[in-house]
Structure 1
Amino acid sequence: MSNIMIRALWLTLISGLSLQGCAQPKPERLGAPIEGYSHTSAAINRFSVNGNGGPNLAPYGYGGGQMCCAPMPVKWHSGLTVVVEWEKDPNPHDSANWPDPPFSDAWSKAAREQETHYTHHRAVVPVARYERLGVVNVHFLPCNQVAVTAGLMMPGTPNYPYKFPQKMEEPATCPTS
């Protein structure tokens, strides 16, 4: 082999090794979109996952599209939890009985009265096992229970970890924690 070929081979090898040093490491966490599902007759006025907001939810509904974003580990691990905080309106249909016209003094007074019945909750919730990070789905259940997934499967698909009916009734008494 000639000196020129050896030098070219060395330059190629050194260039390749130096480019490997420029490769970005794979992230350990990514921002995952947040979506919610209310399985109860209450409205979820607002909620958050690890401090990041999700959409408001109508009774027995899923809400308002996806919000951005909850930082989540790319790979699921045992013991993975998130903190879910939410405000609940247990009587969202009462506004149908508020005085007319909307935004009048009497209407505003009725709205302030309704707000006194809102409840605030916080739960540390385990995240169901996932193979690949996807959407953070938060399920609001009777008795202020919450379930969370963060994989690529969506509710209603065969491998989704939860099979909650969309409409669930509150029991007469809730179990105590």
Structure 2
Amino acid sequence: MSQPINIARYCLLVLPLLLVSGCKTQPPKLLNPQVTGYNHTSAAINWFKVNGDGGPNLGPHQGGGKFTCCTTVPRQWQPGMKATVEWEKDPEPFSSVNWPQPMFSEAWNNQAEAHRAQYTRHQVTVEIPRYEDVGSMNVHFLPCDQVLVAVNGVLPGYPGYPHNDVINALNMEEPEKCPKP
């Protein structure tokens, strides 16, 4: 009679160990990096999205604005990876300081509404450069509505960042004429 109890006890002790040792934890295939924006232009970026995930607003010539959440990328880079970036741009973000109407008066509100009508919306799909380590999803807004992205764990300006040749300054001037896409 004691033998069945010992076998049952043995099974109860050994079975969980076998289950745990047989299941090795695999790293996730997808990661969720934080979205960071860099605005290299004189316009304001009112909002932006990367693959449908939101990013922060960015004032003119500002960088490092982080959104509280993230987007999704594979742990390992794959050839042909792309990101779709959508954004709203205010071409004259400081124009309200010159409006003669009293702030928040009916005339001022009308002027603000007319100003908002000048906002433009854009969308572009860009290549994601090769990365080894996932860092922030960095989005660079350049003159002429050009966008660059990077996901690697290297910060802009440091060796190994894929766009250091283009993004060495946040204060880029809009050319008189933009090249046609």
Moved more, 62-71 or 166-175: 62-71
Instruction: Give the RMSD, CA atoms, in angstroms.
Output: 2.1
Normalised TM-score (structure 2) = 0.85
Distance 2:127 2:63 in 1: 21
State whether residues 56 and 63 of structure 1, in contact with CA within 8 Å, keep that contact through their aligned partners in structure 2: no
The aligned counterpart of 1:172 is 176
Counterpart code for 1:174: C
Counterpart code for 1:129: R
| Percent identity over paired residues | 46
- 1:22-101 alignment runs, 5 A limit: 22-62=23-63, 64-101=65-102
Distance 2:132 2:82 in 1: 16
Q: Secondary structure at the match of 1:92?
A: coil
State whether residues 35 and 67 of structure 1, in contact with CA within 8 Å, keep that contact through their aligned partners in structure 2: no
Counterpart code for 1:113: A
- Unpaired runs of 5+ residues, structure 2, are 1-6
Q: Secondary structure at the match of 1:130?
A: coil
- TM-superposition CA deviations, 1:17-54 (whole Å, max 9, x none): 42134444321112110010011111100000011111
The aligned counterpart of 1:3 is none
Q: Does 1:109 align with 2:105?
A: no
Q: Secondary structure at the match of 1:169?
A: coil
Say how many residue pairs are matched.
169
Moved more, 138-147 or 123-132: 123-132
Structure 1 residue ranges, 4+ long, deviating more than 4 angstroms after superposition: 10-17
Normalised TM-score (structure 1) = 0.86
